[in-house]
Structure 1
C-alpha cells in the first residue's frame, strides 16, 4: 500500500523582487511512502492488520516561494550618476530653480529629461 507524503512550503527573501511581490521558485511535489502490512484473514474476512514495514519511496519536494525584499526606489529612472528624486519638479542644487526638489549634479540623462536638467543637450544635467 502507498500513502502520499505532503510537501512543505518554504518562503525565502529575494532582493531582486520588489517588496510586496511573490514568485514561485520551485513547485512542490508530493512524496510517496510504501507501507507493508501483515494481514490476518479468517474465513475470507480480515480480522487484523499490523504495520510491519514503512519506507519512503519518493521524498517530497518543498514548494519554494520567493518573497520580494527590494525597496522601491525614490530615484527617477531617467537619470544616473546621482539620485534625482521623483517630484513635481526637480532643479539643480545651487541654480536658480525653485524646486520643490533638488539634485546635486552632474547627472547623466539616460531616458527622457523630464525635469529639463540638461539645458545644453549634451546628455549631462546640472554640470554647470
Structure 2
C-alpha cells in the first residue's frame, strides 16, 4: 500500500491557470493526514471541514476574490485517495461532474481518507 499511496500522491491532478496552481487538493490532503494522526473519525461533515480549508486557502492560495473549499472533496475521489458518502442522489452542476454546492451542506459527508489509505497512515 505504501508505494501505491505515494504513487497516487505523485499523480494528483492539480488545476493550473497560467503560472497559478490551485492548492485545494494539497491543503485538503494535509488536513486529512492531520485528522488521521489526531485519530478523528473517517466520516466527517463537509460543514465542519469547509471553514478550516477556506481559511487555509486564503492564507496559502493565490489571491482571489472567491475561494472554493468544495473543490477537493469531490475531485480527490478521482485520485483514489478520499471518498464521499451522500444521503441520497446528488444533482450535478451544469458542465461539471461536481454536485451542486447546496448538497455539500445538506446531503454530503466526506470520508477523510479511504479505509486502505487510513490503515496505511496509521501503520507508518
Bigger radius of gyration: 1
Q: Identify the structure with bigger relative contact order (alpha carbons < 8 Å, sequence gap 6+).
A: 2
User: What TM-score do the two structures reach when normalised by structure 2?
Assistant: 0.18
TM (norm. structure 1) is 0.17
Higher share of residues assigned strand: 1
Higher share of residues assigned helix: 2
